[in-house]
Amino acid sequence: MKAVIFDLDGVICFTDKYHYQAWKALADRLGIYFDEIINNRLRGVSRMASLDIVLERAERAYSQEEKDAFAAEKNATYVELLQQMSPRDLSDEVRETLNALRAGGYKLAIGSSSKNTKLILSRIGLGDFFDAISDGTNITHSKPDPEVFLMAAEMLSLDPAECLVVEDAKAGIQAAHAGGFKSAGIGEAAEHPDCTYPIASFGELKKILL
């Protein structure tokens, strides 16, 4: 193993509450019921696919033009909320583990469906930390498609078999497995049958890799 590719949200940091607030604001404006249980279905899913889930309870169908406007509205709210983030949102455990893996000679990359990946990394003090960033701005298929991880491996000039993917969503484990990567799963991802290394905390990566 020569590299580690991390999902961002739910692994490196947590922006779930901001996603929820932004989707809830849109749903409330449209008069559509939305709660945290529905929000859980959006984890690891692209923005437009998430919007389709939000609109499942809508009383009418919306045109693609309307959907594009809704997605842009949600993202504008989300980006505004992200301004609240700071290096305090990066836990000591994550920071220490990342530094230990870097010292151990591993290349480190991000593989996230979010189009706001670089903004988030900048806000938490990791803007220039990773060797490669594959995100929603350079992929056409979201997880469980493996494209985002395959792109990260390509950026690192490594084969999938040389990279470990770290995920918190089952769709991410599916993507890693489909792409030929080994995986470490946190939270619900640890329960997926294709997860190579179920872990209870981010710091356990040191036991696997060092």
pLDDT (tens digit, 9 = 90+) per residue, 104-155? 999 999 999 888 999 999 999 999 999 999 999 999 998 899 999 999 999 9
CATH no. for residue 135?
3.40.50.1000
77 with 131, same domain? no
96 with 180, same domain? yes
64 with 137, same domain? no
Contact 131, 106 (CB under 8 A): no
CA distance 154 to 195: 22
pLDDT (tens digit, 9 = 90+) per residue, 165-196? 999 999 999 999 999 999 999 999 999 999 99
Task: Calculate what percentage of the chain has a pLDDT beyond 90.
Answer: 92
CA distance 86 to 188: 26
Looking at 50, 82, 114, which one is the last position of a domain?
Answer: 82
Contact 175, 145 (CB under 8 A): yes
108 with 203, same domain? yes
94 with 174, same domain? yes
Contact 85, 15 (CB under 8 A): yes
Contact 5, 111 (CB under 8 A): yes
Please say if the pLDDT value at position 16 is more than 90.
no
Task: Find the domain containing 77 and state its range.
Answer: 16-82
Q: How confident is the model at residue 46 (pLDDT cuts 50, 70, 90)?
A: confident
Please count the other Cβ atoms lying within 10 Å of the Cβ belonging to residue 144: 18
What is the pTM for the complete model shown? Answer: 0.89
Between 27 and 40, name the one with better pLDDT: 27
> Which amino acids are annotated catalytic?
7, 9
108 with 187, same domain? yes
Please count the other Cβ atoms lying within 10 Å of the Cβ belonging to residue 81: 17
58 with 100, same domain? no
